[in-house]
A and B are shown apart, each in its own frame.
Chain A
Amino acid sequence: MAKVFIYPATSLILSDLVARFGHTPLSAAQSIREHIQTAGLESPPLQISPEDPKKGLKYAAVEVPSGVRGRMSLYGPMIEDAEAGIIIHDADLAFGCMGCARTNELIIFLLKKRDIPVLELNYPKTDAEGAEFVAAIRDFLVGLGREK
């Protein structure tokens, strides 16, 4: 079974689909949960401590806004860990939404740069497109299982 990075990383539907086909979704909820539950001196009250944007320097230089670097400290390690990826372009806000467009551009770029299977789809606008959308994700996830 593969570790699949999903974009938008906040999409519960996408996360659920990946898990249903026996894979491990790499998503925002998981990263933030680990971040909060890992006991330590710097356990932050919110998602991010002031130290995290510095960890994000591995993925974005110091002239990049702190919010991008802070977000990358969450998502960067997951992208490195991923064995596959699913990218949904122009998703509806209700499907899953990530706050910063610049971070999103960087996440998609870094994910595509990895030499791993990546499925890219546009968010469906009709019922027919919706059926094709789910089928494409299913085929991709089933295929991942076979490769393994």
Chain B
Amino acid sequence: MTTPVRIAQLSCGPEYSGVQKEIDQAAKAVDAEIFYPDISLADIRRDFTAFGLDVRSPDLKLAIARAKALVEGRVEADAVFIATCFRCAEAAIVRNELRRYIHENSKLPVVSYSFTERTTSGTLLTRMEALTTIARRRALLARETQVGLTLGLDSGSSTTKAVVMRDNKIIGTGWLPTTDVLESANATIQQALDMAGVKREEIQAVGTTGYGRFLVGEKIKADLIQEELTVNSKGAVFLADCQHGPSTVIDIGGMDNKAISVQDGIPGTFTMGGICAGASGRFLEMTAKRLGVDITELGPLALKGMSKQVAMNSYCIVFGTQSLVNALAAGSSKEDVAAAACHSVAEQVFEQQLQEVDIREPVIMVGGTSLIKGLVFAMGELLQVEIVVPPYSQYIGAVGSALLSSGFIREK
């Protein structure tokens, strides 16, 4: 039995929203426990004033004082979870500033979340899992080189990816749309094994990630079953060859998006989610289908167009699609519509998620959508940085899994 990871909760409102139980359950599911840093009234008065953010809500003042106690080492914790009500502007300011303050002044992994009364433990699970992994498995995450013969599988919401690695090199890949989770996984693994020219029984260690990680991981007896936030961070810095120092990883997925601020290959702060599929790869798939082109052609098409020629806002996928249809009906070119769609998705991610992490160069885009050049261009324009898309970026989760799972070879 391992010692539970102690996660300090800084919050305003979860108990009054009926979701505290969900937060506790999510933590318990990953062998962690939530606790409130214990501080005195004098601490609150002093620390709130010293922090300098003059908010009105006493619960937020308390959260600020608790954050200072954690950073200054007066209360010990392994990780920090910041939670406030969705749609509260005052709380959003505090949430952002506390996350930044803790990230800049301590080594504590921190994640923040804005909840509604509908938030469930399932929604919080991946975030809690990432927090506990960073706190508990720093040694594993410190791995920079893949050794032996390992297999990594990323069972994603849209596609399943597999990678076979030998002695720090990718020797086989597989990629199929996710239909039946297990069947897709088996077929993708076989693709990667065939390309690598190795047999399943020769593989020394296996790692799984993505939505189907538990189901597939148990079935194929994986050595490592790990959420995609930490795995993708490792994969990204490995492939982009920037394992030391800061970086930012952006993964616009088929169902949700991840933005991770990374230091030495380990996630510091991260956001995960997205309001609507309008801010995900799914919208680009729909755009390609409506334009009558393959998704692989959408990126080059977008690079030829001018996004400003078409008004498009994919905050909602339904309205986004409506703008798309209207633009085509009004005679806009396919190129301009493709560019506008890419710009719109990049803009949604920029507005909804990238505001919540510190963007530090290099900015690495990964996942299947990083192959859509128009999207990478649009993101670079918005961030005013040159985006790095490493080779094999679409296999990022599988590469991260294969890399990290090689740490288990010696144990066997």
Contacts and interface: CB of A to CB of B under 8 A. Distances in A.
Interface stretch (B83-91, B101-109, B337-345, B353-361): B83-91
B294 interface: no
B345 to A, nearest CB: 26
Interface of B: 12-21, 41, 44-45, 55-59, 61-62, 84-88, 90-91, 115-118
Nearest to A54: B117
> What is the predominant secondary structure among interface residues of chain A facing chain B?
loop
Contact of A68 (B14, B61, B85): B85
Interface residues of A, number: 29
Interface stretch (A98-106, A124-132, A133-141): A98-106
Q: Give 3 closest A-B pairs by Cβ, nearest first.
A: A67-B13, A99-B59, A65-B85
Contacts of A118: none
Contacts of B62: 99
A70 interface: yes
A94 interface: yes
A32 to B, nearest CB: 11
A107 B118 CA distance: 24
A93 B58 contact: yes
Contacts of B118: 50
B18 A99 contact: no
A66 B115 contact: yes
B117 A46 contact: no
8 contacts: A44-B18, A50-B18, A50-B117, A52-B18, A65-B13, A65-B88, A66-B116, A74-B16
A48 interface: yes
Interface string A43-75: 011111111111000000001111111110010
Contacts of A65: 13, 17, 85-88, 91
A100 B57 contact: yes
A59 to B, nearest CB: 13
A70 B117 contact: yes
Given A44-B18, A48-B15, A51-B18, A66 B41 contact: no
A40 B57 CA distance: 32
A93 B17 contact: no
Given A66-B85, A93-B58, A99-B58, A53 B18 contact: yes
